[in-house]
Amino acid sequence: MSRRISDRLSEVARRSFFGRQAELAVLRGAIESPELPFVVAFIHGPGGIGKSCLLQAALSSVRPEIHSIVMDCREIEPTPKGLLATLGATLEMRESETDLPSVVARLGRTARRTVLTLDTYETFGLMDTWLRQVFVPVLPESVLTIIAGRQAPNPAWLTTPGWLGLFHEIELRELPEGDSRKMLQSRGVTDPQAERVNRFARGYPLALELAAAALRTQPDLAISSGPPPKVLQQLTHAFLRGLPPEITEAVEAASTVRRVTEPVLRALLAVSTAREIFDNLRDLPFVDVTSEGLVLHDVVRDTVAKGLAQRDHERYCTCRRRAWRSFTSESHRAVARNLWQCTADLLYLIENPVIREAFFPEGASDYTVEPATTGDGDAIREIAASEDAEESGQFIARWWDRHPETFSVAKTHDGKVAAFYAIFEPANVDPGLLTDDPLTSAWLEHLRRNPMAPGERVLFLRRWLAHTTGELPSPAQAACWLDIKRTYMELRPHLRRLYTTVADLHTYAPIVVPLGFVPLEEASATLGGVTYHTALLDFGESSVDGWLASLVGAELGVESTDLQTSIDAVASAVHGERPDLRPQASPEGTVTILFTDVEGSTALTQRLGDAKAQELLRTHNRIVRDALRAHSGSEIKHTGDGIMASFASASRALECAIAMQRAFAEHNEAAEEPIRVRIGLNAGEPVAEEADLFGTAVQLAARICAQAQPGEILAADVVQQLAAGKGFSFADKGEATLKGFEKPVRLHEVRWQG
């Protein structure tokens, strides 16, 4: 959501501003002049060059009667509705009133100069056309729009007739040496240090800022020079080295998510209070304070996240899973002021290249996607005629003639149509044509046989084709798909299904199946001798957000329902990851799985504080790992609150579990803080073809562990049977019903004392 500039002034004050006199003069001159010299200013330059700072500086000293509205595109749903709702909220309008004419009318109510700023515009690619063609042209004369983003403006801002002279472009470059030096001095850097820093930072403000901060703890800081991203990476590492370990740990955890709020931080660190650490994060030089939480600068965030993933992959995965759980929980939804925040947070967790490419396609920004106009008809017909079978091309032409409003086109910067697509809700189009067209009539038939619930909506994506490459993946088509995603967003939370068609199912299946599309052979149609297959995307009961959650969940190996305890999450995660345990199997193919879980680690953290609780966890790790080594166990993964391990023999696993409990008991005798650990054991056969079955065995082991009392070892019946006659003492605990398992499971307590 947006804030008034006053909210941000304190942030500016934190870091004083230098240089940029020419740019400031142009912006301030425009803001203050009675007649606007241009209606849009577009500031651009790489990340960390100082765009946001310039915006703040330009607004910070203007006359009080000027009304400034500061909006950060990262925080706004990329739809017209999302932008208008955000803008309406800053204008104190009721949400139901935030349609375009009302918002414009409200803006025009005073003759006062209004400055509307849209920062981080690079995340708003989907909205560029609408802003340029629809929104800015209807704004009152008194409104100056300032856009700041990493990419240069789409040339259409410069070339569209009517825009000439109304658009002012400002490209930001590095600070000149004199200004860099002043900036460094103001941050307490000595002259000789400043000279050294500028040799590698070369006037790049974010690098200067990070270097100044790193110098505070490491006066001898040495960084080799190179391109800005490389320098920033080195600086990030150097800076983190100088931080207290608990802050470094929080930065690492925060690097796995798009933004952190206090509840998210608590979830990431598995602690019950995180106020102090949150405040510490906020004051770091690469952290942006937004109204939706703290955002790490992305160069820093990517560097830290990559480093964590390489160094401690388990922790990296644990953080992402914890984030996922926090984002899908009710409390997160209550905190996020709109659904878009949740969607964007979930999207950020997606690492799968196929899925990422579908949402953030490369090369798509070379095209502008906009609603087709009459003049585009010839190009659309031509593409349809040359890229599809004749009969299919004829149907596309009929759709164009009857419903041109359902078509959008991707255009190159010189205005040529490179691709088109047609999408509609069946209820909005001519029923005659719907039944004439063999594909749409097959889709209707499928809908009739498989009706949706009342209120659910469906989209027919009738065709998408690009010049020369047809339906095959291409950058122009990627641009179209991105635009199609915008339509999904607009129909959320009611969108339930999308029907579409492909001729070359073979090429498309690997791309779209991971996204949830399923081929519907019964709904295919033959046109001009070519089979056009139908693919159906069922978003599920929770519409687009549920679909996204399940995509992310599948990738992280967590199920989307009912994740209550961390052990639950781990059990499901393990299920999804299916570690290859065959090397640890006995000659009979059996593997015994052991889970440990430190009692009440959250409560512990609350009581002892983070550092102390971490220390306890480290002691737990050491004791468990020592025992594993002594009993030929293999650590499979750290679960955040415990360890999962496997053994080729059930008796070895039992011996190991007993050794662990004894070692903890011994430790506790002398320790200030006892460590009380649950241990659960199960056995199964990790046959490759039966990966699912084995996943279940692992999940059961985790559930048995959760069932154990602190200080107790619980084993499944199968473990007791495998170890029968080997001198272990078991106490039958009877049958227990464990979550996710239909049949009750007989459990045995393993005696280890005495």
Q: Are 715 and 654 in contact (CB under 8 A)?
A: yes
Stretch that binds ligand ATP, among 65-73, 203-211, 496-504, 519-527 (CB under 6 A): 203-211
Find, among 48, 59, 47, 66, the residue nearest to 23 by Cα. Answer: 59
* Complex with Mg ion: residue 2 or 52, whichever CB lies closer: 52
Asked if residue 209 binds ligand ATP (CB under 6 A), the reply is yes
SS3 712: coil
The pair phi, psi for residue 605, each rounded to 5°, is -65, -40
Alpha carbon 18 to chain centroid, angstroms:
34
Stretch that binds ligand ATP, among 42-50, 369-377, 400-408, 650-658 (CB under 6 A): 42-50
The entry of Mg ion, ligand ATP, none near residue 206 (CB within 5 to 8 angstroms by kind) is: ligand ATP
Stretch that binds ligand ATP, among 17-25, 221-229, 248-256, 495-503 (CB under 6 A): 17-25
Residues whose CB is less than 8 angstroms from the CB of residue 287 and which lie 6 or more positions away in sequence, other chains included? 281, 294, 295, 296, 297
Asked if residue 553 binds ligand ATP (CB under 6 A), the reply is no
- Taking CB atoms within 8 Å and a gap of at least 24, the contacts of 188-195 are 188/212, 188/216, 189/215, 193/219
The pair phi, psi for residue 592, each rounded to 5°, is -100, 130
Asked if residue 486 binds ligand ATP (CB under 6 A), the reply is no
Q: What angle do CA 276, 282, 283 make, to 5 degrees?
A: 100
The entry of ligand ATP, Mg ion, none near residue 263 (CB within 5 to 8 angstroms by kind) is: none
Stretch that binds Mg ion, among 47-55, 294-302, 510-518, 738-746 (CB under 5 A): 47-55
In the 8-state DSSP scheme, what is residue 131?
A: I
Q: Tell me the site size for Mg ion, rule CB under 5 A.
A: 1
Asked if residue 153 binds ligand ATP (CB under 6 A), the reply is no
Asked if residue 20 binds ligand ATP (CB under 6 A), the reply is yes
* Complex with ligand ATP: residue 99 or 169, whichever CB lies closer: 169
Stretch that binds Mg ion, among 12-20, 51-59, 269-277, 680-688 (CB under 5 A): 51-59
Tokens of 153: 């403006």
* Complex with Mg ion: residue 148 or 317, whichever CB lies closer: 148
The entry of Mg ion, ligand ATP, none near residue 205 (CB within 5 to 8 angstroms by kind) is: ligand ATP
SS3 357: helix
Query: Taking the CB of residue 608, how many other CB atoms lie within 10 A of it?
Result: 15
Q: Looking at 2, 5, 8, 19, which residue binds ligand ATP (CB under 6 A)?
A: 19
Q: Are 76 and 83 in contact (CB under 8 A)?
A: yes
For the CB of residue 180, give the shortest distance to ligand ATP in the complex, in Å. 9
Asked if residue 52 binds Mg ion (CB under 5 A), the reply is yes
**SS3 string of 614-628?**
HHHHHHHHHHHHHHH
How many whole angstroms separate alpha carbon 342 and alpha carbon 45? Answer: 29
Q: Looking at 48, 203, 470, 711, which residue binds ligand ATP (CB under 6 A)?
A: 48
* Complex with ligand ATP: residue 53 or 139, whichever CB lies closer: 53
Q: Looking at 3, 15, 337, 494, which residue binds ligand ATP (CB under 6 A)?
A: 15
The entry of ligand ATP, Mg ion, none near residue 18 (CB within 5 to 8 angstroms by kind) is: ligand ATP
For the CB of residue 9, give the shortest distance to ligand ATP in the complex, in Å. 14
The entry of ligand ATP, Mg ion, none near residue 49 (CB within 5 to 8 angstroms by kind) is: ligand ATP
For the CB of residue 203, give the shortest distance to ligand ATP in the complex, in Å. 10
Q: Are 439 and 501 in contact (CB under 8 A)?
A: yes
Q: Looking at 42, 50, 376, 750, which residue binds ligand ATP (CB under 6 A)?
A: 50
Residues whose CB is less than 8 angstroms from the CB of residue 682 and which lie 6 or more positions away in sequence, other chains included? 592, 593, 697, 698, 700, 701, 704, 715, 716, 718, 719
Show the beta-strand stretches assigned E in 313-416.
Answer: 368-371, 407-411
Q: Looking at 52, 198, 303, 534, which residue binds ligand ATP (CB under 6 A)?
A: 52
Find, among 408, 401, 463, the residue nearest to 433 by Cα. Answer: 401
Q: Tell me the site size for ligand ATP, rule CB under 6 A.
A: 21
- Residues 249 to 308 in contact with ligand ATP, rule: CB under 6 A: 285, 297
Q: How far apart are the first and last CA of the chain?
A: 62
- Residues in touch with Mg ion (CB under 5 A): 52
- Residues in touch with ligand ATP (CB under 6 A): 15, 17-20, 45, 47-53, 120, 150, 183, 205-206, 209, 285, 297
